[in-house]
Each structure stands twice: as structure tokens, then as C-alpha cells.
Amino acid sequence: EIHEPEEVSVWFREGSSCCQETLARNQRFTETPVNMPGADKETDLSERIESFLSELKRCGSGAGSLRGSAETARETTALLRRITAQARWGNAGELMEIIRKEGRRMTAAQPSETTVGNMIRRVLKIIREEYARGSSEETDQQESLHKLLTSGGSSEDNFRQHFTHLKANVIEAINELLTELEGTTDNISMQALEHIHSNEVIMTIGRSRTVEAFLKDAARKRKFHVIVAECAPFCQGHEMATSLCKEDIETTVIPDAAIFAVMSRVNKVIIGTQTVLANGGLRAVNGTHTLALAAKHHSTPLIVCAPMFKLSPQFPNEEDTFHKFVSPHEVLPFTEGEILSKVNAHCPVFDYVPPELITLFISNIGGNAPSYIYRLMSELYHPEDHEL
Amino acid sequence: MGERLTTSTLLVTEEDEKKHEIIGAKGEGKELTKEEKQRLRKEKKQHKKNKKDDRGPPEKEKEKEKASVPAPSKPATQSPAHKAAPVPVNASASESPVAAEKPAKSKAELRAERRARQDSERASKQGKKEGGQQSTSSKPKATPNELQPVVKRLPDHVQVDDPVALKKLAKKLERQQVPLRSDYGYKVSLFSHLHQYSRKNPPTQQISIPVTVIHPSIVRLGLQYSQGIIAGSNARSVALLHAFKQVIQDYSTPPNEELSRDLVNKLSPYISFLSQCRPLSASMGNAIKYIKKEISNIPSQCKEEEAKRILQECIDSYINEKIILASEAISKYAIEKISDGDVILVYGCSSLVNHILCEAFEKQRKFRVIVVDSRPRLEGREALRRLVKKGIRCTYVLISALSYILPEVSKVFLGAHALLANGYVMSRVGTSQIALVAKAYNVPVLVCCETYKFCERVQTDSFVSNELDDPDDLIVTRNGKTHLENWQTVKSLGLLNLVYDVTPPDFVDLVITDLGMIPCTSVPVVLRVKNVDQ
């Protein structure tokens, strides 16, 4: 049978029953009585949250994201700042609880958009840090192994204290996070000249705004040739090619089938990704795994340009890692006629690329090997927050 | 030593004779008599000796005009004159014609003379030309010994970046009255040595109607090739052989000519035309070699009707043996490799693989098939239709979803366009990718190929000898937007639509041929065995 023409998302970490529960709970939360003081602020806030959720649900119908991950990250962070400012909470624990609830709803709305979950975890970590600074405890509670073993994790009672400046501090820290988000693409493109020499042939696949900015920045000073694999069935490579040509970069568009055939003349492969997983692997557009294997066969370095907000604390599961399917109409259109009822057609959107095939990650904090990703993760997220 | 006329010598002789036909036959379609041809040849030789260098087209015209001026001081007999005066510079023009009008000299002697002449000419030519690319082989010593001498000519279709070769090709086509097809669009720099045609400009635009030089069934065939109506190497070869049967049927030997010589010469403009429409495949090349050999083996005392009948039978038996029976044999071997519960992956539309799967299904094997397809040709849909019609359970994905679908697969069956002598498999673009990913997942890859597609060429990458398809095929309209619509106007944008690629032998586990199941590296063994047989 054909898959139904709507998304079927498989997300192993979020049990579907949990989502139902959360939805029910949150509905109760947002139906506040109108005559309470500050209710306008709350309804305004909940409206915003609802509109954000519905936008999340709508985008990501397979044609790539209608807005890039950077925008999603910025909007999520802005929304979290608003929640911090406008929601009613007394201490850090309550705030974290609110954010977690909203976070679960958001990730349930679009599980494949992992930047939402990442930003939530970042903000949670910020809150923990600010709280810790406020209560003048040791800021890094994970450094000491003894503490890890004996403390039994930081329990929620620790966050019950009330600090007057906690709100301001948290909002300030979130603002810093926002500035960091604004500058990620620029930070990455600044490193372009260190990695691209002249007269190179660079291969890429699909469309990534990060890689586009990266290549355009290098093209200002160096001359090189870019080969773009079009990445059927959405053919985003075409957009990428036309956009690169505007900067006078020599571009060639090839169909996906020719990736291995032309790989022998390619000096570097530079790709973007949707998510960077905790083991250093990637969740990228379909076709990336083939590209990575071909690069490995020819010993061509594979460079991934990914800002840090794409780093997700999930590990890949055994099979069917985070697969997302869209309508098979893209692959086998309805014009094909009666054979459609006898054929299964698949249209997966993402591919898993294991870390052994990747040479380098370029992110806004510099270049890293895939084996170092787990360490970066511990700097960005608190282990308690891996499960929202 | 066998009386084997190699293709190169045949081509040489045809070219020369054609040259002289043009002077009288241009615009008339008539053929010159032998005496006229002889006279023209002599005159031409004189003029070439007078003018040392400069072989441009305007000069050719001048020579033709001067051809009417009688050139004295040449004895009547052809061969001693040619031996005495080796002509400089342009080797192909100066290589002497076959003394068909001299049955007194045996073929072996003539060939030996010709070879000696070629050697001396090549030596003088190498002295004169500096560092330019030559179309004939660069080996100065073509001494025949047990191993085949590599006197191969580099095919025209991979020399598009060489202006000398292009000019020669244009001249040759003009002589044969075959239209020259012009390239289309911006070519990616790595492939500037290949042709790139557009499907919207068929090669028959410049042909006048009615066609006098090219047989109509060949014109039709050429159009079918260039528009992609006939695609797939088996289909193309069979169509070619059927068209040749028609040509032979309609052929009539002109007076004072031998069928074995003249028919071969008749075929060469047809072959040029077909290769202008679409470069010949390896299987087509082998078929043409076979036909030419059969034609030239017709004994001279054979009557025309008898000869035609023999040739028709030869062609029929070739098709039957090499294609139809071969596919039966391959199916038999391949079905042994299919077990119940298998999940078989196929790529694109290979007539042989489809045949195998249908046969296996009829023999009650339980399996299901995954058809992988790729833009822009989307040939997999055709295979899908055929398999579903049989009742086989099928799944369909695009090649970018390969990593997703491959963990389910137990075997991969691939078809081939040609098998090269170094063990590489030349097939539709994307095949090497499938083999690569299958290897990474430890899935066995089986290639099915008939022996008539084995080819003596060697190749290590997909760049040097390939085919470029119409680049406009890559353009697609999605959500009402066509991003690449005006790619011609954008300065630095190129579209690359490759047709073939080569798969290294370490990705292929087994090759199933009509001679049995062999590893990829045994291809040269089979070639040698076949050559010895013939």
C-alpha cells in the first residue's frame, strides 16, 4: 500500500502517550480565568505560543524547511525569553518546569526540527547556571566525580530558593544567547579561507544556507569550482546553484546518480546538515550517506558546516534512526496510473551519516573532530535535560 | 596467417575511395567509374606532392578544381607508384587505396605492401608534425606478431576539443554527405572533449528530402536513437541489425564492383550518420564488426541473391545466438542465485535483468523487488511497469534513498552496457554508486551481461570516454518555480547530464554471462578466447 499522503514521524525518545498527557495538561494551563490580574499578559503569551506551535507543525512538510534552522532557533529563544518575562513563576524550579512543558509541546509539534529542543535545553542550562551563581554554589557541578556520585543529580529542591535578580540575569543571558545565534553564520564563513585554496573543486549536496555563506565568503578572495548534487526529489540543489552563480562562482549541477562518477575529481566535500547527533554522526538530507561513502572511497575530506545550535544530545538508535517520510507523490506521481496501487513507494527525507565518514566539523566556535562532539555537548547542555 | 581485414584497414580504404567519389558524385548521387577514380587519384597525388603542408579546406577545394588538369609522369599501375612515392604529412589521405582493380595481386601481398607504406609514412609524419595530437595510433612500429598490434584509432567522439580532429571529421562527413551535428550549450570544462547535443535539434534538419545517400530506414533509426525512443544497448543493437537487413535487402551491386567490397563501403556513411545521432555503444560496435567481416567473407563468385540470403541469415543467427539465446542461458544461471524470501534490488531498466526476474517469478521463486530510479531519465518506471504487470511485488525509491532501503536488501542485480577489458563495468550512471553502497552494507552485487558486449577498451574513470546527454533534461518545475530555466544566460552555471559510468571490479562480486559465472577480472580471458575462435 502507498503511505498516506501526510507525514509519519518516528521519534523514539518522545513516547506518544507522553505528548497526549502534556497536551491535556497544557490546555488546562492556558485556560486561565480572564479576571485574574496579569491575565492579559498570559493570554497574549499563550497566543504566541500557540501560533509558534502551529507554524512549526506547518513547516517541514518535506520541501526542506520553509524557514532555516537559524530562524527557528532564534524564534524559539525569543519565545523562551518572553515566557521567562511574562509567565508567572516564583523560583527557578517553577520556571524550569514551565519551560519544560512548553518545550515538550514544541518538540511534539515538529519532532524533526531538533533546534527547538536544543534551544530549550540551552535555556534550561542557562537557568541552572544563573541559579547556581545566584546561590553562590560551585558553578560547575559536574567537574568533581565525587559530587556526581554522591549528589545523585541536582534534585529539584535545590531550585526552590528565590532570588530577586534571577529573572533579570536569565533574560540577560538569553539575550547573549540570541546575539550568539545572530553571529553564527558569520563566524562560520570567516573560517572559509582557512579551508579552501584556489582552483579547488568542491562538492556539495542540496541547499544549506551555512554552506552557501561559507562558499560565498571564500569566493571573494579565491577562485574555485563547485559541483552541486541536486538532491532529488526536492531538487534544492538547483536553488543553491543559482544562488552561488550570482557571486560568479563556477557551478555545475549534477544529478544524484552521478555523485560517485565525478567524485574522483573533487578535492573537498562541504555539506550542511539538519542535526549533529551526540556521537558525532549526522542527520542530513537523503543522499548524504552516499556522498559520504563516495568521499571515503576516494579519500576526499568531508567537512560539515554546522553551527552549535544544531548539536542535539540524542544518540542514534539501531535502525530507522529518526526517519521522516513525506508523500510518495514526490517520487512516483499519481500520473503513473494503475500500477500505483500495487507498488510501495518511499520518500525519506533524512539520512544518517556515521561519524567515521566525517573529517571535520566547522562550527561557530571553530573546527572540531567528530570525536570531540560529545565533550562540546556536555558544555552546552546539562545531562538532566537530555530528556525534556 | 589468416586473411583477416581489420577494421582500421577497411576504414582506411573506404575513406580514400570516398574522397574521389565526391568530385563527380557531389550533388548527383552518381558513382564514378573505376577509370575516372584512378585518374582522379593520380592527379590528387601529384598535387599533394607539389604542395607540402597546408591541408585546410580551402585548399581541398583548390585541389579539386585543379583535378581536371592532367597530371603526367605517373605509370599506369597503382601499387608500384605508391611504393615509390610515399606521400608526406596527411597520413590518411596518402594511404593508398586497395587495388581492387588488380585481382592479380593477392590480398596478403597487398596488405604487406600497405603496412610497409604505413610504417614509412608514419615515420616521416612524426618527423614533420610537432607535438600535435594524431588521430592514428602513436606506436611507430606496427609489426605483426602473436599479440594483436594496437593500431587503434582514437574514436572521433572523444576528440571534440581537438580542432584538427574536428576538421577532419567535418571533411569526412561532407564527403559522405552526412550532416554534421553541432554542439549545444555550455559544456563543463572537464568534459570539453565530448559532444553535447540537444534533443530539440535533430540531426536530420539539414538533410534534404528525398535522401539519396542514406537509406531511409537508417535515417529513421538515427532519429529514434537521438530522441531516445530506442534506448538500452540490446534494443539499439537489435534495431541496428534489423535496419541493416533492410539495407542489404534493398542493395544492388553496381556494375564492375564486388559486393563484398562495395557493400562495406556503402555502410560507412550510414555508420557515420548513426554516430552523429548518438555515439555508438560497444555492443553496436561489435555487431558492426561482425557484419563487415561477414560481408567481406562473401566469396566473389557468389551471386547477388545468394549473397544477400547468406547475409540475412548471418544477421538473424547473430541476433538469435548472441542476444536471445544468451539471455536464456543467463537466466538459467541467475535463477540458481535467487532463493525464496530474497529481496532483490535492481537499478534502472535493463532488459536482461527484467527478463531474469520474470523467468524466476514464473519458476515460482518467492521474492520481492526494489526498483531504484534516478533523474533525469527515470527509466526505473518502465522496469516497474513491466515487473508489476507480471505480478511481482515491487517497491520504488529514488537513488538518494538508497541508504535507507539497502538494509532490507539481500542481493543486487545490475545490467551492463559493456564490460571493459580491465574488469570495469560500464553501465548507466548511478550503477557505481549502487555498487559502492551495497559493498558498504555487505550486500552481494551481481552483474548480468552477454558476451557480445565485452569490449577491448580499458578505462579507469568516467570522464575520458562517456556520453553527455541533453543538459536541458535536468530542468524541473516544482511548486510552479523552475530555478534553472535560464541556465544558458547565467554565466558561470553548467549542467552535467552524464549517461554512463564505470564501476571498479572490487565492487562487483560476480558477472553472469552466457558462458557461465565469472569474476570481473576474467573478462580479458573471455575476449581472448573469443578472438581465437574467430
pLDDT tens per residue, range B367-402? 999 999 998 888 999 999 999 999 999 999 999 999
Q: Name which residue leads in pLDDT, B205 or B237.
A: B237
Q: B183: closest CA among B174, B192, B175?
A: B192
Inspect the interface and report whether the beta carbons of B433 and A260 lie closer than 8 Å. Answer: yes
Best of B398, B461, B489 to disrupt the A interface (most A CBs within 10 Å) is: B398
CB pairs under 8 A between A and B: 163
β-bridge partners, A352: A283
B150-154 contacts at long range (C-beta below 8 A, 24 or more positions apart): B151/B6, B151/B8, B152/B8, B153/B8, B153/B11
Task: Decide if B310 touches A, using CB distance below 8 A.
Answer: no
Q: Are strands B510-513 and B445-448 parallel, antiparallel or unpaired?
A: parallel
* Mean pLDDT, range B474-486, rounded to an integer: 83
Cα–Cα dist B423/A348, whole Å:
35
Name the pLDDT band for B150 (thresholds 50, 70, 90). low
Task: Decide if B429 touches A, using CB distance below 8 A.
Answer: yes
Cα–Cα dist A263/B439, whole Å:
17
Residues of A in contact with B502 (CB under 8 A): 261
Best of A199, A224, A260 to disrupt the B interface (most B CBs within 10 Å) is: A260
Question: Does residue B132 carry a pLDDT above 80?
Answer: no
Q: Name the phi and psi angles at A106, rounded to 5.
A: -65, -45
The H or E element spanning position A263 is helix A259-263
Letter string b/e over residues B45-73, b meaning 16 or more CB atoms within 10 A of that residue's CB: bbbbeeeeeebeeeebeebbeebeeebee
Inspect the interface and report whether the beta carbons of A297 and B436 lie closer than 8 Å. Answer: yes
Inspect the interface and report whether the beta carbons of A342 and B498 lie closer than 8 Å. Answer: no
Give DSSP secondary structure letters for B387-403. Answer: HHHHT--EEEEEGGGHH
- How far off is chain B from A242, nearest CA to CA, in Å? 7
- How far off is chain A from B236, nearest CA to CA, in Å? 23
Please state the ipTM of this predicted complex.
0.81
- How far off is chain A from B487, nearest CA to CA, in Å? 8
Identify which of B190, B396, B496 has the shortest CB distance to residue A331: B396
Task: Decide if A234 touches B, using CB distance below 8 A.
Answer: yes
Nearest residue in chain A measured CA to CA from B395: A344
C-alpha cell at B251: 542493395
Cα–Cα dist A95/A81, whole Å:
11
Would you tell me which residues 320-339 of chain A have a C-beta closer than 8 angstroms to some C-beta of chain B? 323, 331-332, 336, 339
Identify which of A251, A258, A323 has the shortest CB distance to residue B404: A323
Identify which of B388, B437, B462 has the shortest CB distance to residue A261: B462
Cα–Cα dist B333/B326, whole Å:
11
Inspect the interface and report whether the beta carbons of B376 and A262 lie closer than 8 Å. Answer: no
Task: Decide if B445 touches A, using CB distance below 8 A.
Answer: no
Q: Which region holds residue B90: left if phi is over 0, alpha if psi is between -120 and 50, else beta?
A: beta
Task: Decide if B407 touches A, using CB distance below 8 A.
Answer: yes
Cβ-based neighbours of B208, under 8 Å, separated by 6 or more: none
Letter string b/e over residues A120-139, b meaning 16 or more CB atoms within 10 A of that residue's CB: bbbbbbbbbbbbbebeeeee
β-bridge partners, B516: B513
Task: Decide if B467 touches A, using CB distance below 8 A.
Answer: no
Residues of A in contact with B361 (CB under 8 A): none
Residues of A in contact with B376 (CB under 8 A): 255
DSSP A136: T
DSSP B187: P
Residues of A in contact with B428 (CB under 8 A): 257
Residues of A in contact with B403 (CB under 8 A): 286, 289-290, 351-352
Contact in structure between A284 and A350 (CB atoms under 8 Å): yes
Neighbours of B419 (CB within 10 A): 30
Residues of B in contact with A262 (CB under 8 A): 190, 462, 496, 498
Nearest residue in chain B measured CA to CA from A241: B493
Nearest residue in chain A measured CA to CA from B394: A343
Q: What is the pTM assigned to this prediction?
A: 0.77
Residues of A in contact with B493 (CB under 8 A): 241-242, 245, 251-253
If you search the block for the grid coordinates 558569520, which residue do you land on? A186
How would you write the pLDDT of chain A (388 residues) with one tens digit per residue? 444 444 444 443 344 444 444 444 544 444 444 455 556 767 888 888 888 888 888 775 544 445 678 888 998 999 999 888 888 888 888 888 889 998 898 888 888 888 899 999 999 999 888 888 877 654 455 555 555 555 555 554 567 777 778 888 889 999 999 999 999 989 999 999 999 999 999 999 999 999 999 999 999 999 999 999 988 888 899 999 999 999 999 999 999 999 999 999 999 999 999 999 999 999 999 999 999 999 999 999 999 999 999 999 888 875 555 678 888 888 888 887 888 888 999 999 888 999 999 999 999 888 999 999 988 888 889 888 888 7
Residues of B in contact with A331 (CB under 8 A): 396-398, 401
